[in-house]
Amino acid sequence: MIEVRGLTKRYGDVLAVDDLSFDVQPGKVTGFLGPNGAGKSTTMRMMLGLDRPTSGTALVNGRPFAALAEPLREVGALLDPGSVHPGRSGRNHLRVAARTNGIPERRVEQAIELAGLGSAAGRRIKGYSLGMRQRLGIAAALLADPRILVFDEPINGLDLDGVRWIRGLLRRLADEGRTVLVSSHLLSEMQQTADRLVVIGRGRLIADATTDEILRGLGNLQVRVRTSESGPLLAGLQAKGFTAQRVDDNELQVDDTTAEQVGDLAHALQVPVHHLTEVQQSLEHAYIALTSDHVEYHGGRPEETR
């Protein structure tokens, strides 16, 4: 488990992280979201003992990262896939990490297989694409079979097959009871993968909730219902205080409710229902609504740049 309490980091006059508190629980994929400059990478660096907090704490299994006797066995991390020796092969990079940390040699080949490096493991890293460097970084994070994983933008550079692979990997790691924290700007992937979301902006916490709670809590849920008796159903919904409107002669849209509520009312009114479905807006819409006041740099509209 990762516990962040009152975490603050200043760089001179710049407040990068501001009194941040949240937990990353085992058995879940926790998405770590925020605009550029929100403080995500700085927070991760403080978790891993790479930056010293100005105040507050970031604890890994109840201890600061620097106090862990065998840190690689407890926490695997991918922060910068480019921080490797370009002249080594991927396999030798993992062998050095294994020997340095007392990890059995057999784990090198297991990590190569887990990360899907295949024959590329024998090639020099300087010839790797960004996607292969990401896979190598993930292999290094998995090398000691840690219970906690921290990934900063692991999807960058991956092709479609790689994106599907990382999605399945994150899910599998969490299902094994591991603690998984992953930052990403690919919100569609986070919506499919993350059980919980921590959203920050300008270094401060904006939201800490399940993905479903964030989508529902912002009023993003709509219900579409088709019926041959749309008039009576519309009148009944409005009489009960629901926000409902026609889509066409036979279909209604009902905002901020659930399919169960609409179905129960239709049943009570003895109105036949031909189709009933919940329509959620994407995480992208929810994210924009949450962070619109916390974006440091706004792009202008195309006509403003001419």
CATH code, domain with 103: 3.40.50.300
pLDDT at residue 156, rounded to an integer: 85
Task: Check the CA dihedral 169-171-176-181 and report its sign.
Answer: positive
Among residues 125, 91, 114, 120, which one has the least CA distance to residue 168? 114
Task: Check the CA dihedral 237-239-242-247 and report its sign.
Answer: positive
Taking 70 as the pLDDT cut, the residues of the chain under it are: 217-220, 280-281, 294-306
Residues 97 and 245 in one domain: no
Residues 44 and 92 in one domain: yes
pLDDT at residue 47, rounded to an integer: 96
How far is Cα 184 from Cα 191, in angstroms, rounded to an integer? 11
* 157-201 per-position pLDDT tens digit: 888 888 999 999 999 999 999 999 999 888 888 888 999 999 999
Tell me whether residue 216 is in a domain. no
Residues 159 and 197 in one domain: yes
How far is Cα 182 from Cα 30, in angstroms, rounded to an integer? 6
Tell me whether residue 71 is in a domain. yes
Tell me whether residue 39 is in a domain. yes
Residues 120 and 143 in one domain: yes
Q: What angle do CA 132, 137, 139 make, to 5 degrees?
A: 95
pLDDT at residue 217, rounded to an integer: 63
- Computed on alpha carbons and rounded to an integer, the radius of gyration of the chain in Å comes to 24
Residues 226 and 141 in one domain: no
Tell me whether residue 53 is in a domain. yes
How many domains does the chain fold into?
2
| Residues, the chain | 306
Residues 98 and 138 in one domain: yes
Give residues with Cβ within 8 angstroms of 191, minimum separation 6.
211, 282, 283
Residues 13 and 145 in one domain: yes
Tell me whether residue 306 is in a domain. no
Residues 53 and 176 in one domain: yes
Residues 191 and 271 in one domain: no
Tell me whether residue 300 is in a domain. no
Strand partners, 222: 255, 279
pLDDT at residue 278, rounded to an integer: 85
Q: 271 is in which domain, residue-wise?
A: 221-280
How far is Cα 22 from Cα 84, in angstroms, rounded to an integer? 31
CATH code, domain with 228: 3.30.70.100
Span between the terminal Cα atoms of the chain, in Å: 50
CB contact at 8 A, 222 and 253: yes
Residues 10 and 52 in one domain: yes
Could you give the C-alpha distances from 158 to 23, 35, 271, in angstroms and in order? Answer: 28, 21, 50
Tell me whether residue 288 is in a domain. no
Tell me whether residue 147 is in a domain. yes
Task: Check the CA dihedral 138-142-143-147 and report its sign.
Answer: positive
Give residues with Cβ within 8 angstroms of 110, minimum separation 6.
none
pLDDT at residue 304, rounded to an integer: 47
